[in-house]
Chains A and B, each alone.
Chain A
Amino acid sequence: MSNRTFIGAILFSIVIGCAAVAEESSSMPPDSIGRIVDSLFIRASSGEIRFQSEVEPSRKALIALSVKAVPRLLTKLGSRDAREMLELTEIFKGIGEAAVDSLVTVLKSDDGFTRRLAIRCLGEIKSEKAIWSLQAMAQHRDFRTRVETMTAFGNIGSPTAAAAVQAGLRDSIELVATAAAAACGKIKKDIDPNALLAVFTHPYYGVRYAAARSLSLMGESVIVPVEAFIDSCADLNAKCFALLSLGINGSEKSVRVLGRYAASESWQIRAAAADALGKINASKAEAILKKMVVNEKHPLVMARAKASLTNLD
């Protein structure tokens, strides 16, 4: 029996035993489940290389305990340890909807670490019913809470949060705007492309990149407004991001627009066009890129065109 299997077997017996004992809870000390959760959690969140084989089975055992483990796990949400925080997210994700009501109660916590980790867990669970509780967090005075909320909205992916994430794009803190821009691309429905185009001149690159990615995920409906934006915008970097947003997989229409910019006088515009073409799995994109490789003089544009061709292959 391998070490890993052995540990797994022990942990499994603990879970089975625990489940059996839980039915006769009257004979158990009230904190016994807590002790089991504690012991498993120490192993699940251990970062030491020596104990790696204990991590996965311990996590699985905690997930198998489901709601029985939740009260004790909630007390750990205030952890400041990065590994513990990551592990709690994984465990709650595994437990799923059964943990949502309990996690929602924690959102009122005054402790920022607890509150933010609860939001992250709700996002990972992808619980639609948590959205109503999370709406209030989108206005929280702590910007880090707003960042987590926008990310959670994106992970849940429900159009119910569309208005909240579009409002988040206008947040004065760039990290909130970045998370909101990324969430838009995961929600898609009821998102106004113009709201994303408006942040292409944002001073922070994270916002610009996330907005471009989101637009490209929204499909061909964004092509017309993006083209209009490129024609009207004087900011070179913003134009490049607009071009990147046309990297819409499978879109021949995008290829046609990008083709016009593949011969631009600006090497940055050509580089952005090459980048975007590499994301469109269409034969015409490949043809344009091959032509760029032959004719291009700027080493970066050439490199990007080659990388895009490799990507298409």
Chain B
Amino acid sequence: MLICGMKKIILIWIMAATAAMAQDTTENALSRLDKGLADALAGLYMTPADLSLRDDYLEKDGFRMAIVDRYLKSPLEMIGFASNLSDSAIEQLMFQLFRESPFPAAIKPRPFVMTPPESTVADYCDISGIDYGTLYRLAYFIQKETRLRENLAPLEEKGPALDSIIFGLTILLEEDVNDEFRGIDELDSIQRYEEDWTKKLVDLLGLVDAEAPAVACLEFLGFADDSILNPDSSPIYSGGYLEFSTPYGKICVGDTASQFYFGDLFMVIDYGGDDTYQIQREGGRKSVYILDYGGDDTYDFERSRISPFALGMNIVADFSGDDIYSGGSWCLGAGLLGGGILWDKNGDDRYFGDTFTMGAGCLGFGILRDDGGNDTYQAALFSQGFGFVAGAGALHDRDGNDRYFAGGKYKDILRYSDHYLSLSQGFGYGIRPYLSGGAGFLVDDGGNDVYESDIFAQGCSYWWSLGVLSDKTGHDKYLSYQYAQGCATHMTLGCLYDGSGNDLYFGKGLMQGCGHDRSFAALLDAEGDDNYVAYDLSQGAGSANGNGLLADLEGNDAYVVKDTKNTQGYGNERRDYGSIGIMIDLGGRDSYAGGQGADSTWWSKAAWGIGIDR
């Protein structure tokens, strides 16, 4: 007993020491970065204060997130924030973001007090054969849902306005693969239609307490400490299959046999077996709660144009097994005017989705957390850690060799005939110039990961938003084409942080620390022998009064660029003054090909750009 106690103490001490060392290492790395940056800025006759950006280049709308304004004013602090993301509880960060909301909800949720479970469940079915644990779990979510509906009841008198808001946001977020075949007049007409909807949304959001649904769902962010969602051990169920109806939808309790759950599912508690879920909920104002304690399961969410979970909560907690999650849009840890949590605790899992999925939030929050296994994430657009207006989305993968893919469906017809929009993988997005955007985080704690995207992704944002990709360890590959890998366009913020490992960064342009149009973007790689490949306007590039930073703190690295003139510490001139581009490599023997840089020297060919290799 004593030895066991001692072991525990030693283990705690080791964990604390390791955490403290990790913290020290991060702080040391960042202080070295500060020194390198101060030198680089001195070479441009500047100070760090010169990197500060304004929060009002245009008239501020009412949807700006406080975190965006904060890091615009102190952009270097964003790098420290990104480097600490993997050690922090994302759900607490989400909570903080909503506490700082620019338009706090007038509706304050009442505290949750659990009433005796028997009477709750007995209203709907015969409880004589149900064990207390199961009863408790059932009652817990029924009571939570009842309270959620009560909390949202004051909004019901604005029902039509809310429906319009949900529809309007759908219009803004959905893309059409047929756009590439449309004529110029038709596309113009669609653009006007979307713009009209945006203006209408601005008006509608002013009429409705639109933050209330998200605030009402915030309590679910305590899921890591919730004894239902995170019990010490998996519960055992001795009963048989059970199914009954409630006003909220169908409830199923499954034993360890493989089950096929389908239809208007409100809640499922499944104790094992390889199960199949076909979740078909329609309209809005629906919630779904699924606890699956074991087996290789397949989840299939119905493809809906309008989110069924708007003004509601969706939670899937899968405790073990190699699972497949498949859906269209608005699911797999997505919250549109509400909240979404998908928590997979174990197994090699595969996630497939279309738009606004896998950790996406708008006027709400969405979290996809995967605690282990080698996982595959595949989506088309606005996904994998995506934040839209007054919302936040996070994908947090805590372990395993993972593969992330975003794109391949909706063509970027504005710029290319053969590339696809991604707008994912730690991406924040707003509607120019009407609605400030949200905050998107993709956090991966370990494993050798592959990130693949096309246009706009990987620690990137557009229009008064924040996008962060933070990967703590492992030999990772970052592949993209444009606007990626620490990129920010139009008064916004983007950051890619990689803690350690021998990594590869590959892409064409506006990436690897590129800020465009009064934005700040950074790529910081703290350790490892890394390879950086880009064509143009990359590797510490500032454009149109934006500021870009590429910083590699250690390792023998290789840098390859195609265009010598606008890479590796480059800033162009716009509005009669400059953009700032800085590239810093603070250690190792490095190789350069095609650009201005060289090992162990300083360089500066552009008035607004500088590079330092130590």
With A46-B184, A80-B434, A237-B47: A144-B57 Cβ-Cβ less than 8 Å: yes
By the criterion CB–CB under 8 Å, are A42 and B185 in contact?
Answer: yes
By the criterion CB–CB under 8 Å, are B577 and A49 in contact?
Answer: no
Q: Does B576 contact A (CB under 8 A)?
A: yes
By the criterion CB–CB under 8 Å, are A50 and B413 in contact?
Answer: yes
Distance in Å: Cβ of A68 to nearest Cβ of chain B:
22
**B315-348 vs A: 1/0 string, CB under 8 Å?**
0000000000000000000000000000000000
In the bound assembly, the distance between CA atoms of A80 and B198 in angstroms comes to 12
By the criterion CB–CB under 8 Å, are A299 and B602 in contact?
Answer: yes
Q: Give which listed residue, A48, A179, A244, A300, contacts B604 with CB less than 8 A.
A: A300
Interface residues on B, range: 35 or more
In the bound assembly, the distance between CA atoms of A21 and B605 in angstroms comes to 56
Distance in Å: Cβ of B371 to nearest Cβ of chain A:
43
Interface of B: prevailing SS: loop
By the criterion CB–CB under 8 Å, are B604 and A304 in contact?
Answer: yes
Contacts of B49 in A (CB 8 A): 203
Q: Does A82 contact B (CB under 8 A)?
A: yes
Q: Does B45 contact A (CB under 8 A)?
A: yes
Q: Does B227 contact A (CB under 8 A)?
A: no
B137-189, CB < 8 A from A: 184-185, 187-188
Contacts of B57 in A (CB 8 A): 144, 175
Q: Does B610 contact A (CB under 8 A)?
A: yes
Q: Does A104 contact B (CB under 8 A)?
A: no
With A49-B417, A80-B434: A303-B184 Cβ-Cβ less than 8 Å: no
Distance in Å: Cβ of B568 to nearest Cβ of chain A:
12
In the bound assembly, the distance between CA atoms of A268 and B49 in angstroms comes to 18
Q: Give which listed residue, A39, A82, A298, contacts B432 with CB less than 8 A.
A: A82
Contacts of A82 in B (CB 8 A): 432
A16-37, CB < 8 A from B: none
Q: Give which listed residue, A154, A179, A271, A303, contacts B603 with CB less than 8 A.
A: A303
Q: Give which listed residue, B43, B187, B191, contacts A271 with CB less than 8 A.
A: B43
In the bound assembly, the distance between CA atoms of A39 and B43 in angstroms comes to 51
In the bound assembly, the distance between CA atoms of A240 and B43 in angstroms comes to 10
Contacts of B605 in A (CB 8 A): 303, 307
Q: Does A146 contact B (CB under 8 A)?
A: no
Q: Which of A128-136, A190-198, A205-213, A226-234 lies at the interface with chain B?
A: A205-213
Distance in Å: Cβ of B502 to nearest Cβ of chain A:
27
Q: Does A51 contact B (CB under 8 A)?
A: yes
Contacts of A272 in B (CB 8 A): 45
The CB with the most chain A CB atoms within 10 A, among B417, B434, B577, is that of B577
Contacts of A39 in B (CB 8 A): 185
With A42-B188, A82-B432: A151-B602 Cβ-Cβ less than 8 Å: no
Distance in Å: Cβ of B263 to nearest Cβ of chain A:
43
By the criterion CB–CB under 8 Å, are B184 and A268 in contact?
Answer: no
Distance in Å: Cβ of A102 to nearest Cβ of chain B:
24
Contacts of B416 in A (CB 8 A): 49
Q: Does B110 contact A (CB under 8 A)?
A: no
Contacts of B604 in A (CB 8 A): 300, 303-304, 307
Distance in Å: Cβ of B178 to nearest Cβ of chain A:
14
Distance in Å: Cβ of B455 to nearest Cβ of chain A:
12
Q: Does A93 contact B (CB under 8 A)?
A: no
Complex: chain A residue closest to B613, CB-CB: A299
By the criterion CB–CB under 8 Å, are A206 and B184 in contact?
Answer: no
Contacts of B184 in A (CB 8 A): 42-43, 46, 48, 51, 54
Contacts of A300 in B (CB 8 A): 43, 602-604, 610
In the bound assembly, the distance between CA atoms of A50 and B186 in angstroms comes to 14
In the bound assembly, the distance between CA atoms of A275 and B609 in angstroms comes to 13
Contacts of A179 in B (CB 8 A): 575-576
**A153-180 vs B: 1/0 string, CB under 8 Å?**
0100000000000000000000100110
Q: Does B195 contact A (CB under 8 A)?
A: yes
B574-614, CB < 8 A from A: 575-578, 580, 601-605, 607, 610
By the criterion CB–CB under 8 Å, are A210 and B577 in contact?
Answer: yes
Distance in Å: Cβ of A191 to nearest Cβ of chain B:
15
Contacts of A241 in B (CB 8 A): 45
In the bound assembly, the distance between CA atoms of A237 and B47 in angstroms comes to 9
Q: Does A204 contact B (CB under 8 A)?
A: yes
By the criterion CB–CB under 8 Å, are A112 and B59 in contact?
Answer: yes
In the bound assembly, the distance between CA atoms of A101 and B191 in angstroms comes to 31
By the criterion CB–CB under 8 Å, are A299 and B601 in contact?
Answer: yes
Q: Does A11 contact B (CB under 8 A)?
A: no
Q: Does B35 contact A (CB under 8 A)?
A: no
Contacts of B607 in A (CB 8 A): 209, 275
Q: Does A71 contact B (CB under 8 A)?
A: no
Distance in Å: Cβ of B62 to nearest Cβ of chain A:
16
Distance in Å: Cβ of A81 to nearest Cβ of chain B:
8
Q: Give which listed residue, B47, B413, B576, contacts A154 with CB less than 8 A.
A: B576
Contacts of A307 in B (CB 8 A): 604-605
Complex: chain A residue closest to B42, CB-CB: A268
B interface residue numbers (CB < 8 A to A) = 42-47, 49-50, 54, 57-59, 184-185, 187-188, 191, 195, 413-417, 432-434, 545, 575-578, 580, 601-605, 607, 610
22 cross-chain CB contacts under 8 A = A42-B184, A46-B187, A46-B188, A48-B187, A48-B414, A49-B414, A49-B415, A80-B195, A80-B433, A81-B191, A82-B432, A144-B58, A151-B575, A182-B576, A204-B50, A210-B577, A213-B576, A268-B43, A275-B607, A299-B601, A300-B43, A303-B603
Please provide the 7 A-B residue pairs with the shortest distance between their CB atoms, ordered closest to farther: A182-B576, A206-B577, A299-B602, A300-B602, A240-B45, A205-B50, A299-B601
Further contacts, 17 of them, CB under 8 A, given A181-B576, A241-B45? A42-B184, A42-B185, A43-B184, A48-B414, A50-B413, A81-B191, A144-B58, A178-B575, A178-B577, A179-B575, A179-B576, A205-B46, A237-B46, A237-B47, A268-B42, A275-B607, A303-B603
A interface residue numbers (CB < 8 A to B) = 39, 42-43, 46-51, 54, 80-82, 112, 144, 151, 154, 175, 178-179, 181-182, 203-206, 208-210, 213, 237, 240-241, 244, 268, 271-272, 275, 298-300, 303-304, 307
